[in-house]
Chain A
Amino acid sequence: MLKDFVTTLNTKWLDASGPHTDVVISSRVRLARNLKDLPFPHLMNEEHDNQLIEKLRTTIDSQNLVKKTGPLEFTLLKELNSLEKRILVEKHLISPEHAGSSSGGVIFSKDQSISIMVKEEDHLRIQCILPGLQITDSYNMANTLDDLLEENLDYAFHERYGYLTACPTNVGTGMRASVMMHLPGLVLTKQVNKVLTALSQVGLVVRGIYGEGTEPLGNLFQISNGTTIGRSEEEVVTNLSSVIKQIIDQERVARERFYNGNKLHLEDKIMRAKGILENAKLMDSDEALKLISALKLGIDLGIIEAINLKVYYNLLVAIQPAYLQYTSGQRGMGPEERDKKRAEIIKEILRK
């Protein structure tokens, strides 16, 4: 039961629905909240832990909450092994820091669009994640859930500083709204740095999702608000959303131009990527990320018609190391075994 819950790919943001999925992979809003009368997590003792957990258990069982959000399930981190926790990281449901912890817990809705990290850096990190560009919807979801939780919880709040957080970088709204984008067009046309540098001037922060340095693997970028105090949640979300829409337009133009100017070459590149994904015997994760990026571009441009976009989303998680290892049921896989297994899983998902 629990195992299914960890490994399922029926996670809401992986269903590839929602607007602008040709460019935007997912939209996520995270709210940091703390309870007034407990020290921040890094100073909590066992008794504090129990208080927090008890309080949350009764809160998420409240009838009003269940009626409005559906049932939420509380899992203690100590009930999960390290591999299971890492899969939750790979599915973007908990943070790497939280996966490293053995106290605290995580609360999920059935479709995992809601996940609440309990006792991460703050007592609560309420997170809503949806596929495509749905940042306003994600915010509304998180906001509603926040109100419902607050019916039963006394939040640490300051008239001047807003919601108080363990780290002052999150104080105020406690909100981080982020959008994951796939930008192969801007990368291919070498415009991505120019576009992304401009973002820092409007208070947004960009980072590559995988890989370090200048060339992020898989052409995936995460764009989020940089500051949390001084502007309202609505302003931040509206601002982010309008900037994202501009990037979407630029990305589409870049793709079209590049495709028109290099038709045969781009088609060749994409079909080769598909061929390798369908036939390779060994596949490391860097190569896989690059190839599935090409696959997605092929799907978006209509070069590949037989494959559904959902395949890309599933691959994004299924090629990750913890997921691979866990689903193969083998402990301590070596790199070669992992690459073999990765190649197999990719083939399996593509055949579906």
Chain B
Amino acid sequence: MLCERCKEREASVHFTKIINNEKTELNLCEECAREYQEKFSFTFEPNFPIHHFLTSLFSDAIDTTRDRTLHREMICPVCNISYANFANSGKLGCSYCYENFQERLEPLLKRIHGSTQHSGKFPQRAGGKFKIKQQIRELKSQLQKLVAEEKFEKAAEVRDKVKELEAKLKE
């Protein structure tokens, strides 16, 4: 992205300002940032193109700007890929990225798939516990439905089954 001030060079410094609980962000290139800090580190000078920077904040750049500053800080320690890198290429670096970028990936998965919970197959060898957990999840949602339908007898049966499985999980 381009520097919001000179609109010429690549922005590489990101400022976050909180005034009256209003969070604002500014993305500048190194040169403009240096100027900005020297001149405005304590007060806003009238000659700073403040309206300029405000309009850019009200554009849809706001969210993406904030996202980008966040992404930049996230790096998967296993494969060394950054979230920004993933955002560019669409490819994660390794299977551990899913854990390491979890907080960013959750909403993304929700957007793409409408769900973030796998409910399909498990690897046979490694999947014993997963399978039980999945059964518990399924039974619990069944339970909710039964309670809502006031089918309490059947619900009690399902509840006992859940307990049984939970005990099995602890073994």
B93→A162 contact, CB < 8 A: no
List CB contacts (< 8 Å) of B104-154 with chain A.
105, 108-109, 112-127, 130, 133
- With A151-B125, A155-B123: A168-B112 Cβ-Cβ less than 8 Å: yes
A227→B118 contact, CB < 8 A: no
Q: Within the complex, which residue of A34, A39, A143, A156 is in contact with B121, where a contact is CB–CB below 8 Å?
A: A143
Q: Which residues of B contact A143 (CB under 8 A)?
A: 121
Distance A175 CA – B119 CA, assembled complex (angstroms)? 13
For residue A14, CB closer than 8 A to chain B, the reply is no
Distance A159 CA – B126 CA, assembled complex (angstroms)? 10
B109→A229 contact, CB < 8 A: yes
Q: Which residues of B contact A150 (CB under 8 A)?
A: 123-125
Binds B, one of A73-81, A230-238, A261-269: A230-238
For residue B79, CB closer than 8 A to chain A, the reply is yes
Q: Which residues of A contact B112 (CB under 8 A)?
A: 168-169, 227
- With A159-B133, A167-B92: A231-B120 Cβ-Cβ less than 8 Å: yes
How many A-B contacts are there with CB distance less than 8 Å? 106
Distance A245 CA – B22 CA, assembled complex (angstroms)? 55
CB distance from A158 to the nearest CB of B (A): 6
For residue A157, CB closer than 8 A to chain B, the reply is yes
Q: Within the complex, which residue of A36, A163, A166, A172 is in contact with B113, where a contact is CB–CB below 8 Å?
A: A172
For residue B91, CB closer than 8 A to chain A, the reply is yes
Distance A154 CA – B115 CA, assembled complex (angstroms)? 25
Contact flags (1/0) for B88-108 with A, using CB distance below 8 Å? 011111110011000001001
CB distance from B95 to the nearest CB of A (A): 3
Contact flags (1/0) for B63-99 with A, using CB distance below 8 Å? 0000000000000000101000000011111110011
For residue A42, CB closer than 8 A to chain B, the reply is yes
A161→B121 contact, CB < 8 A: no
- With A157-B126, A159-B130, A233-B120: A228-B113 Cβ-Cβ less than 8 Å: yes
For residue A40, CB closer than 8 A to chain B, the reply is yes
B118→A172 contact, CB < 8 A: yes
CB distance from B118 to the nearest CB of A (A): 3
A34→B89 contact, CB < 8 A: no
Distance A161 CA – B109 CA, assembled complex (angstroms)? 9
Interface residues on B, range: 20 to 34
A229→B116 contact, CB < 8 A: yes
| Majority DSSP secondary structure for residues of A touching B | loop
Q: Which residues of B contact A146 (CB under 8 A)?
A: 121
A171→B94 contact, CB < 8 A: no
Q: Which residues of A contact B91 (CB under 8 A)?
A: 40, 42, 121, 166-167
Q: Which residues of B contact A40 (CB under 8 A)?
A: 79, 91-95
Contact flags (1/0) for A219-233 with B, using CB distance below 8 Å? 000000001111111
Q: Within the complex, which residue of B81, B117, B120 is in contact with A160, where a contact is CB–CB below 8 Å?
A: B117
- With A40-B93, A43-B81, A158-B98: A171-B109 Cβ-Cβ less than 8 Å: yes
Q: Which residues of B contact A169 (CB under 8 A)?
A: 112
For residue A164, CB closer than 8 A to chain B, the reply is yes
Distance A10 CA – B118 CA, assembled complex (angstroms)? 38
CB distance from A212 to the nearest CB of B (A): 22
B93→A43 contact, CB < 8 A: yes
A39→B114 contact, CB < 8 A: no
CB distance from B74 to the nearest CB of A (A): 15
A167-B90, A230-B119 provided; 6 other pairs, C-beta below 8 A?
Answer: A121-B91, A171-B98, A228-B113, A229-B115, A232-B119, A232-B120
Q: Which 7 A-B pairs have the closest CB atoms?
A: A230-B115, A162-B118, A156-B95, A227-B113, A232-B120, A173-B120, A164-B95
